[in-house]
Amino acid sequence: MPVRAYAAPAPRAELEAYEYEPEPLGRLGVDIAVTHCGVCHTDTGLIDGEMGAGGFPRVVGHEAVGVVEAIGADVDPSALPIGTRVGIGAVAGSCFRCEYCLAGQQQQCPDRDDTVIRGIGGAFAHSLRASDWRHVYPVPEAIASEHAAPLMCAGTTVFAQILRHGVLPIHRVAVVGIGGLGHLALQFLAAWGCEVTAISSSRSKEEDARRFGAHHYLAAGEDGALAAAAETFDLVLSTVSANLPWDDYLGTVRAGGTLSVVGVPDRAFEVGPYALLPRAKTLAGGIPASVVENRRMLEFAARHGIRPQVEVHPVAEIETALDSVRRGEARYRAVLEM
């Protein structure tokens, strides 16, 4: 049965209705009838030909929520009954045999199936396939589908950093950027019990940041603001897609602490050795999340009422949604209703 999708026929072109015939469903595969899909900055970058992955026509989308409509022959029907509401993020399959998969780091699998860059087959469609059912996550009843969709990428990207870097409730943590990722990071960290500081270039988002859980606010564009926060934070989480004065941000990290970068900078890092080495600081990156990190994120979000602030667009307004993300005007995640 053909998949009805919305594809970019060429770089920077408007999306068009598109149909393609999928391969036969694999023995571990799952087909999902998509009801909602978040719009990520990565999606616009791929549509605009800025990331060099795959060819055209291109169907993107990797923050999908929908219902299970078919499962492969080797999938236990009690694990994912037909009709189960589920989510899929940036990874739709991995080998579960390599050293990374066996260590619970499926996001590092060299043979992983990336929803976002596999070309034809993304979630801007009425049906989406995961090649392995273990990368398909039942959505807790407490979370509405339009809220669950952005959690599958933006939410799990920031939540995974809390687990990976051993963040404790006694820690002081700063979030750089109050956007699609940052507004969720503030909520997760506040619920985790941390003392949370929001960092943005100006004070325009201070009210929102405090509403999302920030205890403190730092306007980095003000003279001396970063210097005044020297050696303050156990973890600084950068969620912005821009090049920053990295030495200045490393200066706000305590000895042995970490600057974790999950937003994609627009050019190469420039870090001075003395900003990093003498105080044994760490510069880390890490997207997307593992199977267990995704499951724990959904459980934690459901338990603590963590939800993205979303703008929901019917799929007929797909170009409006894409443009709002391109311009950085979405408050704070755009979601398509399929």
Predicted confidence (pLDDT) per residue in 25-79, tens digit: 999 999 999 999 999 999 999 999 887 666 899 999 999 999 999 999 999 999 9
Q: What is the pLDDT of residues 276-288, one digit of tens each?
A: 999 999 999 988 8
Enter the pTM of the model: 0.97
pLDDT at 153: 97
The torsion angle over the Cα atoms of residues 69, 287, 134 and 57, rounded to 10 degrees, is 40
Mean pLDDT of the chain: 96
Mean pLDDT across the stretch 282-297?
Answer: 95
Question: Where does the chain hold its CATH 3.90.180.10 domain(s)?
Answer: 3-144+307-337
State how far the Cα of 24 lies from the Cα of 221, in Å rounded to an integer: 54
Residue pair 165/284 in contact (Cβ under 8 Å)? The answer is yes
Q: What is the pLDDT of residue 116?
A: 78
CATH number of 156-285: 3.40.1190.20, 3.40.50.1100, 3.30.70.20, 3.40.50.720?
Answer: 3.40.50.720
The pLDDT of residue 53: 65
Phi, psi dihedrals of residue 320, rounded to the nearest 5°: -65, -45
- Maximal C-alpha separation, the chain: 62
Please, where in the chain does CATH 3.40.50.720 lie? 156-285
In whole angstroms, what is the distance from residue 257 CA to residue 167 CA? 10
pLDDT grade, residue 119 (50/70/90)? low
Residue 1 pLDDT exceeds 90? no
pLDDT over 90 at 102, yes or no: yes
Nearest to 211 by CA among 295, 331, 100: 331
Q: How high is the pLDDT of residue 266?
A: 83
Question: Could you tell me the fold of the domain covering 3-144+307-337?
Answer: Quinone Oxidoreductase; Chain A, domain 1 (3.90.180)
Note the pLDDT of residue 118. Answer: 67
Q: Read off the pLDDT of residues 177-225 as tens digits, 9 standing for 90 and up.
A: 999 999 999 999 999 999 999 999 999 999 999 999 999 999 999 999 9
Dist CA 231 CA 324 (whole Å) = 36
